[in-house]
Amino acid sequence: MRNATHEELLTRAKALNLPTQHHIDGLAESGSGATFAVVAPRDGQILTHVADAGEAEVGLAVAAARRAFDSGPWPRLAPTDRGRILLRIAELLDERREELALTVSLEMGKPVTDAYDIELRAVINTFRWYGELADKLTDESPHTAPDALALITREPAGVVGAVVPWNFPLTLAGWKVAPALAAGCTVVLKPSESSPLSALLLGRIGTAAGLPPGVLNVVTGDGPTAGRAIGLHPDIDVLAFTGSTAVGRHFLHYAADSNLKQVWLELGGKSPNIILPDAPDLEKAAATAAWGIFFNQGEMCTAPSRLLVHSSIAEQVTEAVVRRARELKVGDPLAPATEMGALVSEAHLDHVLDHIATGQAAGARLRTGGERTLTTTGGSFLQPTVFDRVDPGMRLAREEIFGPVLSVLTFDDLDEAVRLANATEYGLAAGLWTSDLSTAHQVSRALKAGTVWVNCYEEGDLTVPFGGMKQSGNGRDKSAHALEKYTELKTTWIQL
């Protein structure tokens, strides 16, 4: 794929056989016949119409998952056998990597090279990692008095409802589906209505890999209808959600109003990226800051959207970021040379433009960008945007924009930097650039964030957990810790 031309990728994209039906009980299911349009953000054209789930379709999917859990083989398989099927899913994802990358690029607008190199790599590695982990988990037997035996076992929690967003439609689905399946749970997955196609393909790949019917179901529909039905359904035991803080609150209410299901939330962020004068490489720090906010069109919950720079180096760093923003190649997501694609929809583009207008009206200085671009394409494209002279109280500095918009704030000492970094309702991620080991440890401990990157950003692998603090949510994706969301602890005390 890397050597394919723009024209070749356009031809391959047109030849895709896009799925349109739910995936329930191992089969394609049209449900009531109601559909909704999936629009390509690259040109505003309708890609296809996909089945629209209501309560009835969600009920069918949950019933299938319930049967598969209560009486099917999946929770009762040896962990080794579950692991083999997860590894087979990884193999099939790899075999269909180009098809999936093109689908992701078409439905949500990211550059196809990023979809292929980053998104697909991540989801393939996720299923492979949990497939290899499945038979390596251990229970506990604490020391007791000689006349008793105590066992602490982890059992699969049951039916999992997984609701995931559009910005990384396969990666974030994989982060929930793979550990849930490894634990022995069954799953009802609802992707965003903006990016349902790749998730439907994932459901079909799961069945082709050997998942028994009902183990992985995919229903497509909107949040207020299908998402709400999943949140309220009494036969769902665990709800795992990635998305906005506002919607996360709804799922907590749904759980309270139904069966008190466990709810695990990975929500928004307004992540600080602190650059100190003793950063080991200021050019690299600035380049990484620019990459972090413009990667995936800024549609990333961990995006380093607040750049906190020491006043003595602020102009040097800001100018380097601005220069990179102006050099960035914005274009058709299907063009191999494109570095930043289209925002997911016209509605989201309008949302981001509103933030930009509000920032200018509040007195922040627009250094570059701030306007639509490539308007003749019909796509939802925005120039990479940088503001400086941003006051901490401005909307630019407080609210998650979820777009390629950077706010630069300055500080004069380390205590002020930490105060600014923590002055947010979010606590998902943070970055720090310094050459001093003590500073790295002290500031990392002081930052209220689930992940702190030092002299890098967005680095890591599946061995480490991912999640937030404060209103960025609870629970963790990735690593062995993710299995805690999908298992229940049971104590068995045997009197000998």
Write a three-state SS string for 153-195: EEEECCEEEEECCCCCHHHHHHHHHHHHHHHCCEEEEECCCCC
Strand ranges (E), 201-330: 216-218, 238-242, 262-266, 272-275, 306-310
Tokens encoding 200 = 């439907």
* Catalytic-labelled residue, pool 107, 193, 266, 458: 266
The mean per-residue pLDDT over the stretch 451-463 comes to 98
Q: To which residue do tokens 């962020």 refer?
A: 269
DSSP state of 75: G
For the question of residue 119 being annotated catalytic, the response is: no
Q: To which residue do tokens 């982060």 refer?
A: 175
Does residue 287 carry a pLDDT above 80? yes
Model confidence pLDDT, tens digit, residues 206-254 = 999 999 999 999 999 999 999 999 999 999 999 999 999 999 999 999 9
Task: Confirm if 193 and 220 have CB atoms less than 8 A apart.
Answer: yes
Distances (CA, A) of 283 to 196, 302, 459, 481: 39, 21, 18, 36
Dihedral angle, C-alpha 52, 196, 471, 358, nearest 10 °: -90
Three-state secondary structure call for residue 4: coil
Three-state secondary structure call for residue 367: strand
Round the average pLDDT of the chain to a whole number and report it: 98
* Residues pairing with 307 in the sheet: 273, 408
Task: Identify the band that residue 51 occupies on the pLDDT scale cut at 50, 70 and 90.
Answer: very high
pLDDT more than 90, % of the chain: 99
* Catalytic-labelled residue, pool 301, 400, 458, 484: 301
List phi, psi (to 5°) of 487. -135, 155
Model confidence pLDDT, tens digit, residues 401-422 = 999 999 999 999 999 999 999 9
CB contact set of 57 (below 8 Å; sequence gap of 6+): 22, 24, 29, 31, 32, 51, 219, 221, 226
Does residue 481 carry a pLDDT above 80? yes
Task: Confirm if 228 and 241 have CB atoms less than 8 A apart.
Answer: no
| Distance from C-alpha of 489 to C-alpha of 480, rounded to nearest angstrom | 15
pLDDT at 2: 74
For the question of residue 266 being annotated catalytic, the response is: yes
Confirm whether pTM is higher than 0.95.
Answer: yes
Tokens encoding 243 = 């998305």
DSSP H helical ranges for 79-233: 79-95, 97-108, 112-114, 120-133, 169-183, 197-209, 228-232
- Report the candidate in 366, 430, 431 with the shortest Cα–Cα distance to residue 394: 366
Does residue 1 carry a pLDDT above 90? no
CB atoms near residue 281 (< 10 Å): 12
